[in-house]
Amino acid sequence: MNFALSEEQQMIVDTVRGFVETEIYPHENEVERTGVVPRELGQEIARKCKELGFFACNFPEEVGGAGLDHLTFTLVERELGRGSMGLTVFFGRPSGILMACNDEQRERYLLPAVRGDKFDALAMTEPDAGSDVRGMKCFAKQDGDDWVVNGTKHFISHADIADFVIVFIATGEEETPRGPKKKITCFLVDRGTPGFEIRDGYNSVSHRGYKNCILTFDDCRLPSSQVLGEVHKGFDLANDWLYATRLTVAATSVGRARRAFDYALSYAAERKQFGKPIGANQGVSFKLADMITDIDAADLLTLSAAWRLDQGLPSNREIASAKLFATEMLARVTDEAIQIFGGMGLMDDLPLARFWRDARVERIWDGTSEIQRHIISRDLLRPLGA
DSSP 105-120: HIIIIIHHHHHTSS-E
Structural domain contains residue 280? yes
Structural domain contains residue 103? no
Q: Give the SS3 label for residue 196.
A: strand
Domain end point (choices 63, 86, 115)? 115
Tell whether 269 and 223 lie within a shared domain: no
Tell whether 194 and 283 lie within a shared domain: no
Transcribe 2-65 into DSSP letters: --PPPHHHHHHHHHHHHHIIIIIHHHHHHHHHHS---HHHHHHHHHHHHHHT-TTTTS-GGGTS
Structural domain contains residue 104? no
How many structural domains is the chain composed of? Answer: 3
Average pLDDT, the chain: 95
Give, as one character, the DSSP assignment of residue 88: H
Tell whether 334 and 225 lie within a shared domain: no
Structural domain contains residue 268? yes
Tell whether 81 and 125 lie within a shared domain: no
Q: Give the SS3 label for residue 95.
A: coil
Domain end point (choices 205, 235, 265)? 235
> Where is average pLDDT lowest: 140-154, 164-178, 183-197?
164-178
Q: Give the SS3 label for residue 86.
A: helix
Structural domain contains residue 1? no
pLDDT per position as a tens digit, 241-262:
777 899 999 999 999 999 999 9
Structural domain contains residue 102? no
Give the CATH number of the domain where residue 228 resides.
2.40.110.10
Tell whether 182 and 257 lie within a shared domain: no
* Residue 122: predicted pLDDT: 95
**Pair 162, 198: CB distance under 8 Å:** yes
- Distance of CA 45 to CAs 109, 110, 155, 187, Å? 21, 21, 24, 29
Tell whether 225 and 254 lie within a shared domain: no
Structural domain contains residue 260? yes
Tell whether 315 and 254 lie within a shared domain: yes
Tell whether 73 and 157 lie within a shared domain: no
What residues have CB less than 8 Å from 322, skipping those under 6 apart?
246, 247, 250, 298, 301, 302, 304, 305
pLDDT over 90 at 382, yes or no: yes
pLDDT over 80 at 294, yes or no: yes
What residues have CB less than 8 Å from 231, skipping those under 6 apart?
171, 185
Q: What is the extent of the structural domain holding 76?
A: 7-96+109-115
Distance CA 321, CA 14 (A): 27
Distance CA 312, CA 307 (A): 9
Closest to 102 measured CA to CA, from 279, 251, 224, 267: 224
Tell whether 249 and 378 lie within a shared domain: yes
**Pair 255, 78: CB distance under 8 Å:** yes
How sure is the predictor about 177, in pLDDT bands with cuts at 50, 70 and 90? confident
pTM for this prediction: 0.94
Tell whether 147 and 218 lie within a shared domain: yes
Partnered with residue 186 across adjacent β-strands are 168, 228
Angle at 75 between CA 89 and CA 349, to 5 degrees: 55
What residues have CB less than 8 Å from 113, skipping those under 6 apart?
56, 92, 94, 95, 98, 119, 120
pLDDT over 90 at 176, yes or no: no
Domain end point (choices 115, 142, 174)? 115
Q: Give the SS3 label for residue 171.
A: strand
* Residue 83: predicted pLDDT: 98
- Distance of CA 120 to CAs 2, 44, 62, 102, 265, Å? 37, 18, 20, 17, 39
Tell whether 258 and 300 lie within a shared domain: yes
Residue 293 CB neighbour total at 10 angstroms: 11
Give the CATH number of the domain where residue 61 resides.
1.10.540.10
Give the CATH number of the domain where residue 380 resides.
1.20.140.10
Q: How large a percentage of the chain has pLDDT more than 70?
A: 100
**Pair 154, 211: CB distance under 8 Å:** no
Tell whether 279 and 351 lie within a shared domain: yes
List the end-to-end C-alpha distance of the chain, in Å, as a whole number.
34
Within 13 Å of residue 129, how many CA atoms lie on the same side as its CB?
A: 21
Structural domain contains residue 368? yes
